[in-house]
Amino acid sequence: MAFSNTSGTVALAAGQIERGGVQRLKITWTSTAGGGAIASGIELSGQLLNLITIPGAGVSAYSLTLTDSDGVDVLNGAGATRSTSATEAVAINVAGVVASSWGLRGTAGDHTLTITGAGNAKSGTIIVTVWRNPGLIN
């Protein structure tokens, strides 16, 4: 997977794991002085299952989006207002954040990760889990 940083530093952590059609993509980020980080060319294909956010020390209240080539946030707003101190996990659904497996959000292609409001030179980790069953992409 090759992607490029537009702002801040975003890197694929040691841990793109795929088993049984489930891909777990672990991405680390560090913000600029403006509190943000942007990376494009993040390839995802399948149905999004969940998002995990792990804030680094001193992170301000931050938000993130993961947009597809049409500019649609495939997280459906689940990345808004993440915790500054606790690891959080949310399920992703077409209608937003839900606790059921119905209506999973399908996506394919290159995506852009945008972090905002994190504070100067702060860092964190996000983990996106995708079910890569091509027959079920919405």
- Domains in the chain: how many in total? 1
Q: Give the structural domain span for 28.
A: 4-136
H runs (alpha helix) in the chain:
none
Q: How do beta strands 9-12 and 123-131 pair?
A: unpaired
Query: Identity (one letter) of the amino acid at 135?
Result: G
Confidence band, pLDDT 50/70/90 cuts, at residue 1: very low
Quote the DSSP letter at residue 61: S
Q: Note the pLDDT tens digit of each residue in 49-108.
A: 899 999 999 999 999 999 999 999 999 888 999 999 999 999 887 654 444 444 567 788
| CATH code, domain carrying 54 | 2.60.120.380
**3-class DSSP state of 135:** helix
Instruction: Return the residue matching tokens 């020390």.
Output: 57
pLDDT of the residue at 108: 83
Question: Looking at the predicted structure, is the pLDDT value of residue 9 above 80?
Answer: no
First to last CA, the chain: 23
Specify burial of residue 114 (Cβ count, 10 A radius: 0-12, 13-18, 19+). buried
